[in-house]
Chain A
Amino acid sequence: MPYTITDKIWEAHEIAKEDEFSLLYIDRHLTHEVTSPVAFSDMKYKGYKVRRPDLSLAVMDHNVPTDSKENPTIDELSEKQMEALWNNSRTFNVPLLDFYSPYQGIIHVVGPELGFSLPGLTIAAGDSHTSTHGALGALAFGIGTSEVEHVFVTQTLWIKKPKQFRIKINGNMKKGVSAKDLALYIIGKIGTGGAIGHIIEYSGETVSEINVEGRMTLCNMSIEAGARSAIIEPDDKVFSYIKDAPLAPKGQDWEDAVKYWKNLKSDPNAKYDKELEIDAGSVKPMVTWGTNPSMVAPVDGYVPYPEEVKDESLRNEYERALKYMELKPGQKITDISVDYVFIGSCTNARLSDLIEAAKVLKGKKVNRSVRALVVPGSEWVKRKAERIGIHKIFIDAGFEWRHSGCSMCIAMNSDRLPPGKRSASTSNRNFENRQGPGGRTHLVSPAMAAAAAVFGHFVDLADVEIAEVM
């Protein structure tokens, strides 16, 4: 029987099955300060131990301050939660990258960058965007806190095998179009529930062309289409991305690993439950106008007219969204002005994302009406950017060059979009109040966010000068 890459990794890790649910062994477990405290307290109460601390990695990311390491702005609740992770890591011997670690960052940036996440592995984390790691050819699942505890104690997870959804992307991307635009385009097409119960496998020539970090953006955003996870066959680009990572296999182990990883391909006749083909050439830079990521339009488009929507509940939803966003039907996307620009998050804060934004910003200034923040995905990404000098481009343009963390994507620390203010954000969710109570979010790519910072409103990258930065 022909197998998909998902079938192959699943079978290698399925140690038992009961009815529709399988017991999967989990090779790597990432955890952060927000979804772990209840799991740890229950473990203490019941006398459980972490079965494999050596397969676990704790990182502080969700509510860490990003303004300063010396005099951070922090509230009592956030501090307590970070302190709890610090104490729990000590109690249970779980390796920790704390606020002060030079390798601290967002778990979905840190995992691949350290080589903790590798092709062919099963990975779990108490965070929905764990699908990101699928870009390396790993089977990665976001889980809840009860499951976090289950993985800590048993190193396994009870999970129903998702159905499989192949999205083939072919064709050349236009100037200014990135993986983020492809992701938003796909979500716009299939909807927020379009992939519920499925793992998306991305394939096709465009996906092969996209760099590994862009693939992470695609896999990351799959959650916003309802997917249980996402995966891409690993190739030479993936192998060279992780080769020198500190935790990647070395010597003979590396040779054996690559041999094994090269077989992680979907067989030519493998069957999928759903299929979709996308022509990348027809995708333009995308901007969300509503309160979920499927409410999206090309940058040269306009805010839709709810009355043109036939489905009644969708029409109501559009009306509700336009009211919240304070937008008018028929308004041109390029006429929407922004007050804040946020370049960051597990979706778009890796080195190549920062480079794409810097190419737009070089020699330009942030518009006077805009406050702009760049929050690198990890402290290591920050150092890498500083080594190649692009931090200067951001700083000279008028951006705040900050420390890493989830920051204004989730607004659990003091990085918040004020009520009534509008942002261009490279993050993943434009839900009501997501970036701060009353805040209005437009999701875009890093280059689109940078251009919006300069012009004070959205602009088509086709009309923007893009410089070389290296």
Chain B
Amino acid sequence: MQEKIQGKAIPLPLDNVDTDQIIPAQYLRLLEKKGLGKYLFYRWRYDESGKPKKDFVLNDPKFKDGSVLVARKNFGIGSSRENAVWALTDYGIKAVLAESFGDIFYGNSIKNGLACIKLDKKIIDEIIEKSMNGNLFVTIDLANRKVIYEGKEVSFEIEEYARRRLISGQSEIDYTLSHYLDKIEEYEKNVKSFMKTNINETLKKLLEG
């Protein structure tokens, strides 16, 4: 259960931060989701020899303990890699505030309890500006759909389904199976003959022929 998320804001004032930048493809070859935080923004964070780049925000000591990332338009566009979300959460990011998000990234974030909150450009501009000195703390109140900073409260819109998932953190698979198994079985009973497939037999024949 998480109704409120609190943390220090980390400004990343860029549009179109794609998932290739969040985690490069070369680090997708691992077989588990733990430990990906060290590859977060790898090519922006480290030079070719693996040394931290001084000008990147995550290497700035002021933001070392930050956990609310603030970006601009289209954050998380590109590839479907859920590793992008895992890298963020493993690093310690609890929420991302942006003007808009890539659709698949947004869907992935809900499944992993990473709150992605859409805010107007004006608010994002203000939060980015205020966060630059490294001491802006932001609260995301999921229960009341509010972002709070410096005593100011800003409402945000979020799909009710997403909000409930973020708060409950319950396994979606168990939920689907316990509530809708009968509907799944019913659909399968009524599937039209031409929509069925017998893949194993066909592939076998194909390989023999």
Contacts and interface: CB of A to CB of B under 8 A. Distances in A.
Physical interaction between A and B:
yes
Interface of A: 13, 15-16, 18-21, 23, 25, 27-28, 34-35, 37-38, 41, 46, 48, 51-52, 54-55, 57, 62-63, 77-78, 80-81, 84, 95, 97, 101-103, 116, 118, 120-121, 126-128, 130, 142-147, 149-150, 153-156, 158-160, 162, 192-193, 196-197, 223, 226-228, 246-247, 249, 253-254, 256-257, 260, 292, 313-314, 317, 410-412, 419, 429, 431-434, 437-438
Contact of A146 (B14, B101, B112): B112
18 contacts: A19-B164, A20-B160, A28-B197, A38-B31, A55-B199, A77-B29, A103-B207, A120-B195, A127-B80, A142-B104, A158-B172, A226-B74, A246-B203, A313-B73, A317-B15, A317-B16, A432-B21, A434-B20
B187 A15 contact: yes
B18 interface: yes
A246 B73 CA distance: 44
A412 B183 contact: no
A256 B194 contact: yes
A372 to B, nearest CB: 22
B163 to A, nearest CB: 9
A269 B48 CA distance: 56
Contacts of A433: 20-21, 24, 43
Contacts of A80: 29, 31
Interface string B100-142: 1111100110011000000000000000000000000000000
Contacts of B14: 313, 317
Contacts of A223: 78
A41 B82 contact: no
B88 interface: no
Contacts of A19: 159-161, 164
B20 A144 contact: no
A193 B33 CA distance: 28
B154 interface: no
Contacts of A158: 161, 172, 176
B85 A292 contact: no
B72 interface: yes
Contacts of B143: none
Nearest to B159: A20
A313 B15 contact: yes
B193 interface: yes
B200 A23 contact: no
B159 A15 contact: no
Interface string B158-199: 011100100000001100110110011011100111110111
Contacts of B79: 127-128, 429
A57 B177 contact: no
A249 B14 CA distance: 49
B123 to A, nearest CB: 15
Contacts of B160: 19-20
B32 interface: yes
Give the interface size class of chain B.
35 or more
B26 interface: yes
A47 to B, nearest CB: 11
Given A80-B31, A146-B111, A196-B102, A429 B20 contact: yes
Interface string B134-157: 000000000000000000000000
Contact of A20 (B100, B161, B173, B207): B161
B14 to A, nearest CB: 7
A146 B194 contact: no
A120 B164 CA distance: 32
Given A128-B80, A158-B176, A228-B103, A256 B192 contact: yes
Interface string B66-98: 000000111001111111010000000000000
Contacts of B197: 28, 54-55, 116, 247
A54 to B, nearest CB: 6
A51 B184 CA distance: 10
B30 to A, nearest CB: 7
